[in-house]
Amino acid sequence: MKCKRCGELAAVKLPSHHAGFCPGCFELFFRKQVETAVRRHAMIAPGEKVLVAVSGGKDSLALMRVLSDLGHDVTGLHVHLGIPDSSDPVCARTEAYCRENGFALHVLRTGDVGLAIPKVKAAVHRPICAVCGKIKRHYFNRFAYENGFAALATGHNLDDEVARLFANVLRWDATYLGSQGPTLPSEGRFVRKIKPLYRLTEFETAAYCFLKGIDHWKAACPYSGGASFTGHKKLFADLEHASPGQKIAFYEAFLAKGREHFAETNREGRQQLTPCASCGYPSSGELCGVCRIRALVAK
Ligand code: SF4
Ligand code: ZN
């Protein structure tokens, strides 16, 4: 197969785009998809500072790389979760990557704020990933807000977004359907959330990392019970195989024609939030979810 753009031998075949690309042209394609996402969904205004949530996996490192190559002012934040045999090597690899590539990186240790994940796991009687996710979201947002970042960028890709959308559709969860999208505007102490990789699949992000020599962390977290929405992702992989282009078409059509119908329900369904008595961040009760978990761990 020949590269659609320059006619050289293709290295990456993309049936959904009816194209194959050589390494150089694939990188251009990848950057173009991110540029389109950023422009269409008003993700980053010129000169704005962006905080990138960096887990050390392929999506977040690819995101740092591509946003920086597109000229955006990016800084990474890695949340060290204190998980034995996992958090130290992931953090070391992430720090090494950022150092070698000249990216500013901050590391926040949840153990320093009374929330080392093994202790949280022992204290709560809920699936740990939901709790861990809540803690990470809180600190990513808090760090961005307190350090003057205009936006918080996460590495969610098209497969993540389609699987989430499908799960919301299966439940006809109008509140979530009304707010799902690549950009969530800022509100009070919540900074703008953006997903610049939403037009790129997991395969495309992995190919980008491979071709760019991005040495990302590959092992799964020891507490993970498998990636989220695995079944839904498999379903859509089969659909995509049978009919290339379905994933992006499904998601873009939702954004263009579906989401607006749920926006009102989303506004009505949202809980009234007040400042948490302990940390001051928006909360549905006296204490926010994270401060309640911290109190539970401290007991
Ligand atoms: Fe946290 Fe679960 Fe992810 Fe591990 S797999 S980092 S526990 S959310
Ligand atoms: Zn709080």
Residue 214 has pLDDT above 80, yes or no: yes
pLDDT, residue 237, reads: 92
Residue 142 has pLDDT above 70, yes or no: yes
What mean pLDDT do residues 118-145 have? 96
pLDDT tens per residue across span 34-57: 999 999 999 999 999 999 999 999
pLDDT, residue 228, reads: 65
| Nearest protein Cα to ligand 1, atom 7 | 129
Query: Could you state, in order of their start, the residue ranges of all structural domains in the chain?
Result: 40-214+224-271
Q: Ligand 1: distance of its center to the CA of 131 in Å?
A: 9
CATH superfamily label, 40-214+224-271:
HUPs (3.40.50.620)
Q: What is the mean pLDDT of the chain?
A: 95
Among the bound ligands, name the one nearest to the CA of residue 219. 1
> In whole angstroms, what is the distance from residue 84 CA to residue 55 CA?
16
Angle, vertex CA 208, rays to CA 206 and CA 211, nearest 5: 110
What mean pLDDT do residues 24-36 have? 98
pLDDT range class, residue 189, cuts 50, 70, 90: very high
**Is 18 strand, coil or helix?**
coil
Q: Ligand 1: distance of its center to the CA of 147 in Å?
A: 25
> In whole angstroms, what is the distance from residue 49 CA to residue 53 CA?
13
Q: Ligand 1: distance of its center to the CA of 57 in Å?
A: 12
Q: Please report the atom of ligand 1 found closest to the CA of residue 225.
A: 5
pTM of the model: 0.95
